[in-house]
Each structure stands twice: as C-alpha cells, then as structure tokens.
C-alpha cells in the first residue's frame, strides 16, 4: 500500500520558508530528505530555507551545490549535508566524494536523489515540487511523502497543523524551543500581533528493552506513556489554583497540545538561585502538600489515576547509579553481590518515606521547569511546566528537587533556611506534622534522587551522545555525599565507602 501524500500549496517564497520550518520540526541527525522536481521548481530554495531554520541563522549563506555536488554545514545540533546529484552518472561516484563519512550522523538533504540508487536510506521524506504557470511564476505545489519511521513523523506533523488550524494558531510563526533531556519537543508560536503560545509535541512513548521482570524502565519507573497524564495534571493544578499553562487545544491520540505561553523569566539568574523566588517556590510546595488531594483526577479526556511512587520505582531509579554512573564515569564494574547489598541498603532506607502519607509528587520540580510570573500573586507567581510523570509519593521528594537542584548550586545556608521555613508552614497547617520525620525523609529522598540523576547524566553522555550533563556531576555528588551523612543512611553510606569512595573525594573537591 502506498504512503499517503501531503499536498501543500506554496503561493510565494514566504510559504516555502514556512514549510521549511514545519519540516525542521520533524528531522534530525541521521535523517534523509530528498527533493525532486523540474529545474527551477524551487528545490534549492526549500533546502536553503530548511538549512537556515536548523542553523538558526536566517542570513546563512547556502549556495546551490550544483557544481560542488556537496555542501556541509556544522549547526549547533548536528551537521547538515546538502547534495545535488544532477551531475552524478553512477552511484559509485559517491565514494569518491566522501559521501559515507560526510553523511554519518548528519541530516542529509539531496536533490536529484534518484542518481544515488540504493546508497540512500529507505527511511526518508520525499518532497516533490511542481510549478503551475496558470497560478503565476512564483506558485509551487509540494507533495510530501514519508517512508518508514519518517511516515509516522509526517503524520504527527500533519496532525499538528490540523490542531493549530482548529484553535486559530495556524498563521503563527513556529520557532523551535531549546529542549532538555526528555523525548518531548516544543515550538514557540508567534502570531503577527505578537501573541504567543507553545506547541507541545509528546507522541506516545515506545517501550524500551526489558530491564527487570520483563518490563521496560519506563513502566517500572511509572513514566508517562502518552500526553494524557500531562493534560490531566495540568487541569488539576489549575483547579487547585496554581499556574500551570492553560491548554487551548489538544489531540490526545497524536500527543499534541497548544499551551499558554507563561514567559521565560526564571527563578534563577547568572549567580544562581534568586532567594525570594525560591522562597515562593518552596511556599507553593508547602501549601500543595498541606492539602487533601485526589488520587483519581477527572479531566477533559476522562479519568486519570496517579500511579504510586512505590518501592520498585525508587529502586529502579537508584539502580541507574550502578548501571551507568559507576562504570561509565568512575570506571567501576560492580559485581552482583555488591549490587545486591546496594539494593538491600536502599530497601531499608526507603521504608520510612514509603510509610508516610502520600501527596502529589510532581517529580521534576526544579529550576528548568519553574517560571517567575511577576504579574501574578501568591502561589500563582510560580509557573509550573513539567509534571506529566507525577506520582503519589513522599512530600520531601519535590522539596529536594528544588533545594538540591542538579543544574544550579543551592548554597547550604539557603537550603537550610527554606527547609526550616517549609517545616514551619507545614506544622502550622497540620498538627500531626513531625519535623524530625520529615528531615529524615528529606535526606533519604535527596540521596535517592542524586543517585538517579547521576545515572541519568551518565546515560545521556554514554548512550545518547549528550556530554554536557557531565558538568553537573560534581554538584550532584556533593549533594549525595551530604545526604549520606544522615544517620538513617548509615548502611548506604558504608556501602559507598566500600565500593564507590570516589564520591567523597569529589565532595571534598567541589
């Protein structure tokens, strides 16, 4: 069965640039885009627009490679190869051009791709351009077909366009937004009048390989499998009076949503945490945790029951340290006996927090996901962005995420001050709140989160080719060593001293 064709009318060059921005949202390193059409149909114009979008440089020189055959561009995200094979007579000539070396790990854009024969991947996006003299010299029609994995991405792209049309944002300029370590993507939508929104692209998560008990990591750690948990938690947080982005429109099956733009003012600056803003973020958590919150949420897409942050989830996260951080950062391969001791120590340490009353644990409550909304008051001054992986868990977990931020150093004195202020608020709200019990839970959650984050940062480097996160490891090991000083973690500290004493050395150097 042939793949469906997406037809787009391009009345002028501005429309061609707009199409390039849409295509840019679905391509990356290792992808192939082929361009076909008669001479003068606009293949190079479209390629140039796509290269400029991906390079984030609207003035970038991108000449036709008709004579050079191949142009290579080093963009911040990945290299781009733009090739014109019109003068290639036989696919064997590609080897002489150094084709394989240039194309490895690059986005490849090819004109006259049929000249390459079987040298090009079967997974690709084909774009054919046609002229129509009756509709003017600048008119073009594009027919776009996706093959293999690219076909699924193209379906999502078409779904996004349909969603934008449905909620009145189809005329907005679409700009790529800097992402983080997740698989989600975001685009800033800017209307001609300056009004802004955000397109969230969060397709259903594919299961990874089984890691324990026949289940993938995402299932064991209770990570969101699709966009529905985000929509449910978003509506629930707004109903509780907090500043989550309003949802203008959503396609739950496709994993798409158009969100309110909350701005870009952070709770940190170049010097680190802004104490008054961190104080408000802490206060929000205290007020949230002091409420009786539902475990099952009714929202516009139906009913959603929050998973529980259970022992299995905590353990599989903590195991990331021995699975990724120990071998790939410290060069230590731990034997099965040592790993069993590690898990047993965690089982004992986690027994206390797991016995506490549960609350909404947003799970990624830290500076990259918190915005400062100066024009709002009270708890609404802190904008919330990332909560689709929320669970029912110990209240200390989110406070640790904030006060032991993996990406920015929170001074000890600020951490202690806000930890005390949080406890004071909770004790005034609830007579049964026990400060000592919470302090213990805070240390345990801090050590668990640090262990998880160290493993994730090592995995991002080793598996995903994102070494930038390694710069944060000294800060996180410092948090871990500090948390291990709590008496409740004595057994776990002894394990680290025996098998991974390097973390205490890194603490001294931090």
Tens-digit pLDDT profile for residues 205-254? 877 888 888 899 999 999 999 999 999 999 999 999 999 999 999 999 88
Q: Which whole number is the average pLDDT over 290-316?
A: 96
Q: Which two tokens stand for residue 98?
A: 């150094």
Predicted pLDDT of residue 182: 58
Predicted pLDDT of residue 1: 45
d(Cα 200, Cα 422) in Å, to the nearest integer?
Answer: 33
Q: What percent of the chain has pLDDT over 70?
A: 97
Predicted pLDDT of residue 184: 79
Q: Which residue has the higher pLDDT, 96 or 189?
A: 189
Q: Which residue has the higher pLDDT, 119 or 289?
A: 289
Helix (H) / strand (E) containing 18? helix 13-24
Helix (H) / strand (E) containing 176? strand 173-176
Q: Which whole number is the average pLDDT over 326-340?
A: 97
363: nearest Cα among 232, 266, 452, 290: 452
Q: Which whole number is the average pLDDT over 325-330?
A: 97
d(Cα 321, Cα 457) in Å, to the nearest integer?
Answer: 10
Statement: residue 475 has pLDDT above 60: yes
Statement: residue 469 has pLDDT above 70: yes
The residue whose two tokens read 């005329």 is 171
Assess contact for 328 and 458: CB atoms under 8 A.
yes
Lowest mean per-residue pLDDT among 38-52, 310-324, 336-350, 388-402 = 38-52
Predicted pLDDT of residue 173: 84
Q: Which whole number is the average pLDDT over 127-156?
A: 88
d(Cα 272, Cα 399) in Å, to the nearest integer?
Answer: 17
Q: What percent of the chain has pLDDT over 90?
A: 70
Assess contact for 444 and 489: CB atoms under 8 A.
yes
Q: Which two tokens stand for residue 27?
A: 């391509």
Number of helical H runs and strand E runs in the chain: 17, 22
Statement: residue 2 has pLDDT above 80: no
Provide the β-strand partners of residue 210.
Answer: 216
User: How many residues in total does the chain contain?
Assistant: 510
Query: Using 50, 70 and 90 to split pLDDT, how confident is the model at 296?
Result: very high
Three-point CA angle 27, 31, 32, nearest 5°: 105
Predicted pLDDT of residue 112: 87
Q: Which whole number is the average pLDDT over 99-120?
A: 84
Q: Which whole number is the average pLDDT over 343-371?
A: 97
Phi then psi dihedrals of residue 189, to 5 deg:
-105, 125
Average pLDDT, the chain: 92
81: nearest Cα among 59, 54, 45: 54
The residue whose two tokens read 């710069």 is 471
| Residue 495: CB atoms within 10 Å | 18
Q: What residues have CB less than 8 Å from 133, skipping those under 6 apart?
A: none
Enter the pTM of the model.
Answer: 0.80
Statement: residue 148 has pLDDT above 70: yes
In sign, the C-alpha dihedral spanning 40, 41, 45, 47 is: negative
Query: Using 50, 70 and 90 to split pLDDT, how confident is the model at 116?
Result: confident
Q: Which whole number is the average pLDDT over 279-307?
A: 97
Predicted pLDDT of residue 506: 57
């Amino acid at each position: 069965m042939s793949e469906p064709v997406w037809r787009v009318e391009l009345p002028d060059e501005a429309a061609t640039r707009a199409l390039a921005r849409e295509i840019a949202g679905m391509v990356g390193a290792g992808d192939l885009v082929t361009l076909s059409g008669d001479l003068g149909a606009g293949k190079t114009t479209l390629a140039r627009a796509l290269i400029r979008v991906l390079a984030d440089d609207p003035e970038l020189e991108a000449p036709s490679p008709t004579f050079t055959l191949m142009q290579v561009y080093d963009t911040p995200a990945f290299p781009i190869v733009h090739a014109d094979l019109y003068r290639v007579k036989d696919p064997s000539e590609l080897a002489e051009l150094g084709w394989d070396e240039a194309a490895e790990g690059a986005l490849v854009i090819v004109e006259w791709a049929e000249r390459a024969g079987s040298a090009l991947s079967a997974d690709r996006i084909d774009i054919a351009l046609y002229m129509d003299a009756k509709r003017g010299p600048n008119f073009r029609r594009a027919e776009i077909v996706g093959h293999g994995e690219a076909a699924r991405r193209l379906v999502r792209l078409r779904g996004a366009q349909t969603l934008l049309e449905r909620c009145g944002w189809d005329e907005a300029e679409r700009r790529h937004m800097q992402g983080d370590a997740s698989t989600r993507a975001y685009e800033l939508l800017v209307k001609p009048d300056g009004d802004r929104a955000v397109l969230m692209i969060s397709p259903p998560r594919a299961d990874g390989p089984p890691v324990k008990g026949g289940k993938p990591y995402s299932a064991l750690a209770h990570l969101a499998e699709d966009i529905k948990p985000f929509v449910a938690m978003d509506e629930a947080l707004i109903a509780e009076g907090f500043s989550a982005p309003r949802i203008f429109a959503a396609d739950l099956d496709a994993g798409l949503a158009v969100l309110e733009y909350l701005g870009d003012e952070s709770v940190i600056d170049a010097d680190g945490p802004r104490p008054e803003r961190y104080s408000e973020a802490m206060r929000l958590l205290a007020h949230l945790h002091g409420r009786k919150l539902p475990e099952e949420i009714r929202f516009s897409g139906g009913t959603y029951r929050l998973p529980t942050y259970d022992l299995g989830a905590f353990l599989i996260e903590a195991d990331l340290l021995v699975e990724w951080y120990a071998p790939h950062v410290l060069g230590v391969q731990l034997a099965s006996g040592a790993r069993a001791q590690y898990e047993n120590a965690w089982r004992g340490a986690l027994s206390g927090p797991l016995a506490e009353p549960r609350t909404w644990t947003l799970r990624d409550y830290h500076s990259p996901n918190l915005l400062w909304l100066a024009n709002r008051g009270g708890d609404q001054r802190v904008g919330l962005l990332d909560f689709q992986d929320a669970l029912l868990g110990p209240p200390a977990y989110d406070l640790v995420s904030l006060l032991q931020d993996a990406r920015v150093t929170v001074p000890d004195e600020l951490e202690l001050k806000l930890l005390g202020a949080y406890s004071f608020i909770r004790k005034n709200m609830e007579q049964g709140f026990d400060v000592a019990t919470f302090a213990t839970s805070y240390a345990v959650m801090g050590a668990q989160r640090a262990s998880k984050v160290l493993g994730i940062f090592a995995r991002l480097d080793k598996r995903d080719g994102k070494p930038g996160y390694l710069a944060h490891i000294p800060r996180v090991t410092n948090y871990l060593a500090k948390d291990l000083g709590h008496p409740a973690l004595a057994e776990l500290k002894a394990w680290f001293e025996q098998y991974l004493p390097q973390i205490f050395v890194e603490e001294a150097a931090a």
